[in-house]
Chain A
Amino acid sequence: MDWISPRALTRMGMLNMNRRNVDYISRYNDRTSYPLVDNKLKTKLVVAEYGVSTPKLLQLVRQQHEIPHFREMAEDLTGFAIKPAKGSGGKGITVITGRDGDEFIKASGARVPAAYLERHLSNILAGLYSLAGTPDVAIVESLVESVPGLAKYSHQGVPDIRIIIFQGYPVMAMLRLATTASDGKANLHQGAVGVGLDIGTGKSLNSVQFNRPITLHPDTGLALENIDIADWEEMLSMASRCYEATGLGYMGVDLVVDINEGPLLLELNARPGLAIQMANGRGLLPRLRAIENLKRHHFTPEERARFAMEAFSSQQ
């Protein structure tokens, strides 16, 4: 067994579970705002007012009797994603990438008939994937097509960028790449690769899988050192705008970069995980404290993003 001394962790300013819950989530996140982030539909509507774009909503299925309309709508679509509004951790998301006659092709390559998707919609409405098993609504969104520069790193699934926003300031970011182990999902504890991103430049820092440092993607074999995210500043200020939209002081913002639409918000998370620190190779606490100690907060998201790029850059 290998251990690290608590003193070393304190020196690096690693944020831990208890402190995250007590000092950050329960202090800065108002419970009344939780439904905003736990429900993707509400998230979509509220961030739209603040100029944050999300994948286009194609259809909303609220009731069982609306399911037959889904087939009409899907007639002239090739790619789309079906999501439960209250799902968590990517559960219940079905991604359709193409058509083959009457059948739909899933992201994994499997072919399914329309009846399969209708049953899936019905399951979502019954609450099979929702947080507490409560009745849910299904969202049908247009398919995100990742920019090739990023897509090539990911095995199936769309790579997404997780940015921690603290009181409106981006404090840490990472790129999450799906692997075979994670079954196309971008959750780190399921085996996805996390690549730390420099807040100052959007360039990759370290990479981890299952909490262990790696240098190559386990499936695609590509080196993970020289990834560079385009339009980094725009993405940071977009993530910062979510603070105004939800009022959550400590949250995780998940973004994707679409080939046509640019950066899109996938979802918000009121209890973002701690693994991002491992991907960055540094602790969150010094940055969180720096924000807490600010005498005067910046008013606009752009100012906050610019400040963070200067203050938290790894280039110094």
Chain B
Amino acid sequence: MAIWRHIELGIPWLTGEQRPVWMVEARVDFNAADEPVLVSLNIPEQSPGFRILSEQAASPGYGFSVVEKEGSRRAEWSKRNVIGPQTLYFKTQFIPDPNANRDRPRRAPKPVSVFWEEPQATAVREILIQAEERSSTPESMTRELIRLMQPDTQAQNTTLLVSGTNHLDLLVRMLNHAGIPARTADGLKLEDARRRQGLTPFLQIYNGDEWLTFDPKSGEQGLPEDTLLWRQGAASLLDVVGGDDSSVSFSMLRQTIPALQLAAMQSEENGFGFLSLYQLPVEEQGMFRMLLLLPLGALMVAFMRIVIGIRTSGTFMPVLIAVAFVQTNLLPGLIAFTSVVSIGLLMRGYLSSLNLLLVSRISALIILVIFITAGLSIVGYQMGFNTGMTVTFFPMVIIAWTIERMSILWEEEGAHEVFVQGAGSLFVAVCAFLVMDAPLSRHLTFNFPELHFVVLGLILLMGQYTGYKLSELRRFTPMKAYD
């Protein structure tokens, strides 16, 4: 089946030969109030630097259409009589293309006339004169204006304006007032496997030729890399009629699709395409990506224990630790894990002097572990290490059990055995991490889920292995004397 997938769908075996495609999923949540519902979501038409590959809406029972309204595209869902929480999805695939869609409007936009009340009007005039003095073009004017509006350079005039108004709206109004057509836009930062992302606002001005994008905070010109402009020009991102509590969030996933398949997808849906994990909502895809790596970790543990004979504390603890390492990266993960476990062991020493029953001892440990991770995060953050935060990826309950087991081991077998098993667990975890983190294995497990039958087969095969473990070759060495 994997071979068929490779040949028919052209999914490459290796990670090399592929084009990145961003799958962005907008998720609209709202509460319907038992009346006809019309949801209208702004969708990108011409986003600079990206080409749209495909669009798809997932919304059971809703009428769906894409309409052009006042120069912007909107996805509209409608339904009569719905009640309760509703979720609508809109999926778009983008291909990065630096030359796509430079934003040149057919008709030059005109600045909108703006009316200011006193005393703001005077303040605006003052600042605009200041900015104009130091600039020559609409671009430099915009940069200068953003700089002037920064909190640290603010003069009295600006403080008056800034108080109580939206910073970005204010900039747009001021620029329009100065005769430069300006508008707001919403950008989406593209990062792999992110969920529940929000939009970042940007400022756009028209320089007489095309629309230019500015960061309203730093004044930097141009769009940051990997940022997709979801909304430009249109007045609103989302309108919901007949519902309340509405919100939009975005999930995205970087997919690897070869040029061959791109062509196929553009033409029509392949008959067997439905068997691919790519058909799932993006949020679930991200989760499956992680889940599908687990078998590799299990394989690693089985190999290490059955064939090599490394002792670990807790059979599958190393896999879970490896999963956490995948999120935190290796070195910070290792440091965080060892520090949490060693601090936990110290605290467990006190617990054992209290003579508690097992269940309450573990429960107490879980609470302590949470405190330790919180403490480490805060200390790490204060010291300027962002990595301190990543301790939260570790499974708390597993860590608590690990500490408990290590501590009992310490009492019964001594520190040496604790060291042997601890080092063994970490070694297996690192090996599992290396296997799971390799781009090739990520690629293969997700694109060819059926390859897991091979993993399953290997594990079953190892279950029948009755040969000597590598560690036993060492253990039985003294037998040489009797041979």
Pick the residue among A4, A18, A91, A190 that contacts B479 (CB under 8 A): A4
**B contact residues, total (Cβ < 8 Å):** 25
Contacts of B5 in A (CB 8 A): none
Q: Given A4-B477, A91-B412, A212-B478, 20 other A-B contacts at CB below 8 A?
A: A2-B477, A4-B476, A4-B479, A6-B473, A9-B472, A12-B482, A14-B476, A18-B465, A18-B467, A18-B469, A19-B466, A126-B357, A133-B358, A206-B482, A208-B478, A213-B478, A278-B476, A278-B478, A281-B481, A282-B482
Chain B residue with minimal CB distance to A208? B478
| Interface mask (B451-483 → A, CB under 8 Å = 1, otherwise 0) | 000000000000111111100111111111111
A17 within 8 A of partner (CB): yes
**A14–B479 Cα gap in the complex (Å)?**
9
In the assembled complex, 16 residue pairs joining A and B whose CB atoms fall closer than 8 Å, in A order, are: A1-B474, A4-B474, A6-B473, A8-B479, A9-B468, A9-B473, A12-B479, A12-B482, A14-B479, A16-B467, A16-B468, A18-B465, A23-B466, A127-B358, A133-B358, A278-B479
Q: A12-B479, A16-B468, A17-B469 are in contact. Are A2 and B474 (CB under 8 A)?
A: yes
Q: A18-B306, A133-B358, A282-B482 are in contact. Are A6 and B477 (CB under 8 A)?
A: no
A22 within 8 A of partner (CB): yes
What 9 pairs between A and B have smallest CB-CB spacing? A19-B466, A281-B482, A133-B358, A4-B477, A2-B477, A16-B468, A18-B466, A6-B468, A3-B473
* A-B interface contact total, Cβ < 8 Å: 72
Contacts of A277 in B (CB 8 A): 476, 479
Contacts of A14 in B (CB 8 A): 468, 476, 479
B295 within 8 A of partner (CB): no
B332 within 8 A of partner (CB): no
**A contact residues, total (Cβ < 8 Å):** 31
A11 within 8 A of partner (CB): yes
Measured CB to CB, the closest approach of chain B to A92, in angstroms, equals 11
The dominant DSSP class at the A interface is mixed
Contacts of A281 in B (CB 8 A): 479, 481-482
Contacts of A18 in B (CB 8 A): 306, 465-469
Q: Are A16 and B482 in contact (CB under 8 A)?
A: no
Contacts of A127 in B (CB 8 A): 358
Residues of A in contact with B (beta carbons under 8 Å apart): 1-6, 8-9, 11-12, 14, 16-19, 22-23, 91, 126-127, 133, 190, 206, 208, 211-213, 277-278, 281-282
**A244–B266 Cα gap in the complex (Å)?**
74
**A294–B461 Cα gap in the complex (Å)?**
30
**A19–B475 Cα gap in the complex (Å)?**
16
Pick the residue among B357, B412, B472 that contacts A16 (CB under 8 A): B472
**A91–B412 Cα gap in the complex (Å)?**
9
Q: Are A3 and B477 in contact (CB under 8 A)?
A: yes
Measured CB to CB, the closest approach of chain A to B469, in angstroms, equals 6
Measured CB to CB, the closest approach of chain B to A50, in angstroms, equals 32
Contacts of A23 in B (CB 8 A): 466
**A212–B480 Cα gap in the complex (Å)?**
11
B309 within 8 A of partner (CB): yes
Contacts of A211 in B (CB 8 A): 475, 478
Measured CB to CB, the closest approach of chain B to A191, in angstroms, equals 10
**A242–B413 Cα gap in the complex (Å)?**
31
Measured CB to CB, the closest approach of chain A to B413, in angstroms, equals 8
Measured CB to CB, the closest approach of chain A to B188, in angstroms, equals 51
Q: A22-B464, A126-B357 are in contact. Are A16 and B478 (CB under 8 A)?
A: no
Q: Are A11 and B483 in contact (CB under 8 A)?
A: yes
Measured CB to CB, the closest approach of chain B to A184, in angstroms, equals 14
Contacts of A278 in B (CB 8 A): 476, 478-479
| Interface mask (B371-400 → A, CB under 8 Å = 1, otherwise 0) | 000000000000000000000000000000
Chain A residue with minimal CB distance to B307? A18
Contacts of A208 in B (CB 8 A): 478
**A6–B306 Cα gap in the complex (Å)?**
15
Chain A residue with minimal CB distance to B358? A133
Q: Are B472 and A17 in contact (CB under 8 A)?
A: yes
Measured CB to CB, the closest approach of chain B to A282, in angstroms, equals 6
Contacts of B464 in A (CB 8 A): 22
Chain A residue with minimal CB distance to B483? A8
Contacts of A1 in B (CB 8 A): 474
**A8–B65 Cα gap in the complex (Å)?**
76
Q: Are A16 and B480 in contact (CB under 8 A)?
A: no
Contacts of A282 in B (CB 8 A): 482
Measured CB to CB, the closest approach of chain B to A89, in angstroms, equals 8
**A282–B476 Cα gap in the complex (Å)?**
11
Contacts of B478 in A (CB 8 A): 208, 211-213, 278
Measured CB to CB, the closest approach of chain A to B481, in angstroms, equals 6
Measured CB to CB, the closest approach of chain B to A81, in angstroms, equals 20
Q: Are B479 and A6 in contact (CB under 8 A)?
A: no
Q: A17-B309, A91-B412, A211-B475 are in contact. Are A4 and B466 (CB under 8 A)?
A: no
Measured CB to CB, the closest approach of chain B to A71, in angstroms, equals 21
Measured CB to CB, the closest approach of chain B to A116, in angstroms, equals 13
**A212–B479 Cα gap in the complex (Å)?**
9
Q: A18-B306, A18-B466 are in contact. Are A12 and B357 (CB under 8 A)?
A: no
Contacts of B479 in A (CB 8 A): 4, 8-9, 12, 14, 277-278, 281
Q: Are A22 and B468 in contact (CB under 8 A)?
A: no
Q: A12-B482, A212-B478 are in contact. Are A5 and B412 (CB under 8 A)?
A: no
Measured CB to CB, the closest approach of chain A to B53, in angstroms, equals 51
| Interface mask (B288-309 → A, CB under 8 Å = 1, otherwise 0) | 0000000000000000001001
Measured CB to CB, the closest approach of chain A to B472, in angstroms, equals 5
Contacts of B481 in A (CB 8 A): 213, 281
Contacts of B412 in A (CB 8 A): 91
Contacts of A3 in B (CB 8 A): 473-474, 477
Contacts of B467 in A (CB 8 A): 6, 16, 18-19
**A206–B479 Cα gap in the complex (Å)?**
11
Measured CB to CB, the closest approach of chain A to B320, in angstroms, equals 21
Chain A residue with minimal CB distance to B309? A17
Contacts of A22 in B (CB 8 A): 463-464, 466
**A278–B477 Cα gap in the complex (Å)?**
10
**A11–B476 Cα gap in the complex (Å)?**
13
Measured CB to CB, the closest approach of chain B to A130, in angstroms, equals 10
Contacts of B473 in A (CB 8 A): 3-6, 9
**A11–B482 Cα gap in the complex (Å)?**
11
Measured CB to CB, the closest approach of chain B to A115, in angstroms, equals 14
Q: Quick one: which of A9, A19, A211, A212 has the most chain B CB within 10 A?
A: A9
Contacts of B480 in A (CB 8 A): 4, 8
Contacts of B468 in A (CB 8 A): 6, 9, 14, 16, 18
Measured CB to CB, the closest approach of chain A to B203, in angstroms, equals 63
Chain B residue with minimal CB distance to A132? B358
Chain B contacts with A in 417-468, Cβ cutoff 8 A: 463-468
**A9–B477 Cα gap in the complex (Å)?**
9
Chain B residue with minimal CB distance to A133? B358
Chain A residue with minimal CB distance to B475? A211
| Interface mask (B59-96 → A, CB under 8 Å = 1, otherwise 0) | 00000000000000000000000000000000000000
Contacts of A12 in B (CB 8 A): 479, 482-483
